[in-house]
Structure 1
């Protein structure tokens, strides 16, 4: 993270701005981890309901 301090332009939906590359990558990684946990939880819930 210490090496990726260059500013990059970020555009997401209607939001625009500049951000340090390391921070943008961190936010993207955390967002994907949260999405994976939500999808996994939904899948486990559906499988559990089928089993009963």
Structure 2
């Protein structure tokens, strides 16, 4: 019984980690990319100043 518990525990953790990583990457990638692409280098320089 212990082996089964430790066996499905990592599986669920792997699935959650994969979903979390995918969601975070998907939500974080389009945000900065779209902003920089839409705004352009002028907005970036203005924001840096």
Return the TM-score normalized by structure 2: 0.61
Q: Greater relative contact order: 1 or 2 (C-alpha under 8 angstroms, separation 6 or more)? A: 1
Give the alignment's Cα RMSD to 1 decimal: 0.7
Number of equivalenced pairs: 33
Larger radius of gyration: 2
Contiguous gaps of at least 5 residues in structure 1: 1-19
Give the structure with the larger strand fraction. Answer: 1
Give the structure with the larger helix fraction. Answer: 2
Return the TM-score normalized by structure 1: 0.58
Contiguous gaps of at least 5 residues in structure 2: 35-49
